[in-house]
Structure 1
Amino acid sequence: MRALIYGLCALLCSSPVFADSYRNCGENWRAAQPSRIVALNQHAADLVLALGAGSSLVGVAYLDDTEAGQRPSAYFGVPVIARQYPASEVLYAQKPDLVIGGFATAFGDGVTSRSGLARNGVGSYLLESACNGHSLDYFGHVRNDLLTLGKLLHKQPQARQLSEAMDADLTRARALAKPGKPLSVFYLDSEVKGLDSEGSRGFVTTLLAAAGARNVFADLNQYRVTVSRETLLVSDPDVILLADADWSPASRKRYLLNHDPVLSQLRAVRENRLIDIPFTHLLPTAASGRVALDLARQLNALDKKK
Structure 2
Amino acid sequence: MPSYRRALLRALLPLPLLMPLAACGGSPTPQDGKAAAGAAPGFPYTVTNCGVTSTYQAPPQRAVAMNQHATEILLALGLEGRTVGTAYLDDAVLPAYRPAYDKIKVLAKEYPSKEILLGANPDFVYGGYSSAFDKAQGRDREGLAQSGINSRLSVEYCTEGKVGLDQLRTEITEVARTFGVPERGERLLADEQRRIEAVGARVKDKAKPAVFVYDAGEDSASTSGGSGIGNEIVSLAGGTNVFADLDDTFGDVSWEKVIERKPEVVLIYDYGGTTVEAKKQRLLNDPALAQVPAIKNQRFVVLPLSSAVLGVRVADAVESLGGQLHPDAA
TM (normalized to structure 1)? 0.83
1:293 corresponds, among 319, 323, 329, to 319
The whole-number CA distance in structure 1 between the counterparts of 2:247 and 2:135 is 30
Note the alpha carbon deviations across 1:149-188, whole angstroms, 9 max, x for none.
Answer: 1122222221111111111122112112243641110001
Is this contact kept in 1: 2:63–2:122, CA < 8 A?
A: yes
Is this contact kept in 1: 2:303–2:317, CA < 8 A?
A: no
Distance 1:77 1:264, change over 3 A: farther
After TM superposition, give the deviation of residue 227 of structure 1 in Å: 2.5
Is this contact kept in 2: 1:98–1:124, CA < 8 A?
A: yes
After TM superposition, give the deviation of residue 27 of structure 1 in Å: 3.9
2:155 corresponds, among 119, 128, 135, to 128
After TM superposition, give the deviation of residue 302 of structure 1 in Å: 7.6
The one-letter amino acid of 1:172's match is A
Distance 1:36 1:192, change over 3 A: farther
| Structure 1 match to 2:127 | 101
The whole-number CA distance in structure 2 between the counterparts of 1:27 and 1:246 is 32
1:24 corresponds, among 25, 29, 49, to 49
Note the alpha carbon deviations across 1:107-149, whole angstroms, 9 max, x for none.
Answer: 1227521121111111111111122x43424211111121111
The one-letter amino acid of 1:116's match is G
After superposing the two structures, state which structure 1 stretch, 191-200 or 167-176, moved more.
191-200
| Structure 1 match to 2:297 | 271
The whole-number CA distance in structure 2 between the counterparts of 1:24 and 1:189 is 28
After TM superposition, give the deviation of residue 216 of structure 1 in Å: 1.0
Distance 1:272 1:196, change over 3 A: same
Paired residues for 1:134-213 under 5 Å: 134-179=160-205, 181-191=207-217, 194-213=220-239
Is this contact kept in 2: 1:183–1:303, CA < 8 A?
A: no
Distance 1:96 1:221, change over 3 A: closer
After TM superposition, give the deviation of residue 75 of structure 1 in Å: 4.7
The whole-number CA distance in structure 2 between the counterparts of 1:145 and 1:224 is 20
Distance 1:280 1:142, change over 3 A: same
Give unmatched runs, 5+ long, in structure 1: 1-16, 68-73
Answering whether residue 291 of structure 2 is matched by residue 262 of structure 1, we say no
Answering whether residue 91 of structure 2 is matched by residue 91 of structure 1, we say no
| Structure 2 match to 1:119 | 146
After TM superposition, give the deviation of residue 102 of structure 1 in Å: 0.6
- Give percent identity, aligned residues only: 30
Is this contact kept in 2: 1:128–1:134, CA < 8 A?
A: no
TM (normalized to structure 2)? 0.77
Paired residues for 1:211-230 under 5 Å: 211-230=237-256
Is this contact kept in 2: 1:19–1:33, CA < 8 A?
A: no
CA RMSD across the alignment:
2.7
The one-letter amino acid of 1:251's match is E
After TM superposition, give the deviation of residue 247 of structure 1 in Å: 4.8
Distance 1:241 1:303, change over 3 A: farther
After superposing the two structures, state which structure 1 stretch, 258-267 or 284-293, moved more.
258-267
The whole-number CA distance in structure 2 between the counterparts of 1:115 and 1:193 is 37
- SS of the residue corresponding to residue 105 of structure 2 reads strand
Distance 1:62 1:192, change over 3 A: farther
The whole-number CA distance in structure 1 between the counterparts of 2:249 and 2:78 is 32
After TM superposition, give the deviation of residue 62 of structure 1 in Å: 1.4
The whole-number CA distance in structure 2 between the counterparts of 1:78 and 1:213 is 38
Is this contact kept in 1: 2:307–2:316, CA < 8 A?
A: no
Give unmatched runs, 5+ long, in structure 2: 1-37, 94-99
Distance 1:299 1:76, change over 3 A: farther
Is this contact kept in 1: 2:212–2:242, CA < 8 A?
A: yes
Answering whether residue 276 of structure 2 is matched by residue 236 of structure 1, we say no
After TM superposition, give the deviation of residue 52 of structure 1 in Å: 0.8
> Where has structure 1 moved over 6 Å in runs of 4 or more?
none
After superposing the two structures, state which structure 1 stretch, 154-163 or 215-224, moved more.
215-224
| Structure 2 match to 1:62 | 88
The whole-number CA distance in structure 2 between the counterparts of 1:232 and 1:93 is 47
After TM superposition, give the deviation of residue 271 of structure 1 in Å: 2.8
